[in-house]
Amino acid sequence: MTAMPLPQAELGDAQNILVKAEGNAMRISLQWNLVNESSSVVTPNVGGDPGGAGPAIDSSVYSGGTITKADEMVQFLTTEFQNKGVEYKYSITIPSEAGVTKNFFRDGAIERISITKSGRAPVTWRVNLVFIAGDLITVGA
């Protein structure tokens, strides 16, 4: 919603025109700490998503095909798991509690990833991901 106040209006804010031009938007902000894991946190998407959700991600370039260390996860997030073009689209699923509600699922794009590092021993990596839900439509050759 954008406000368009009229200059020198006698009724003040009562003559403020509200314009809804942007449409509805849903942004999902997720924050988590990266920790070392016992098994890989990345599954290769060989051949890309069957629904056309973007290029395949080959995790074999990281530590023999596994990403288990927090430092490797940062490397992956900053080199592979970011928008590099308009053809990149993602799906986000947040599982529900067993039997309570349905899973939350949306298609869309990653709007922003920020990563912070703090501490000396142990080092803490904190990730903030902002996801915008929607149907990614591209026009091209």
The pLDDT tens digits for 60-115 are 454 446 888 898 889 888 877 766 666 677 888 877 877 677 788 888 888 889 99
The b/e string for 23-32 (b: 16+ C-beta within 10 A; e otherwise) is eeeeeeeeee
Give the type of residue at 103: N
State mean pLDDT over 121-141.
80
Q: Which residue has the higher pLDDT, 15 or 120?
A: 120
Tell me what the mean pLDDT of segment 116-127 comes to: 87
Residues written for the chain? 141
Cα 141 from Cα 139, distance rounded (Å): 7
Classify residue 11 as left (phi > 0), alpha (psi -120 to 50) or beta: alpha
| Structure confidence by residue, pLDDT tens digits, 6-60 | 666 677 667 677 766 667 788 999 999 999 999 888 766 554 444 444 444 444 4
Note whether 83 and 119 are within 8 A (CB): no
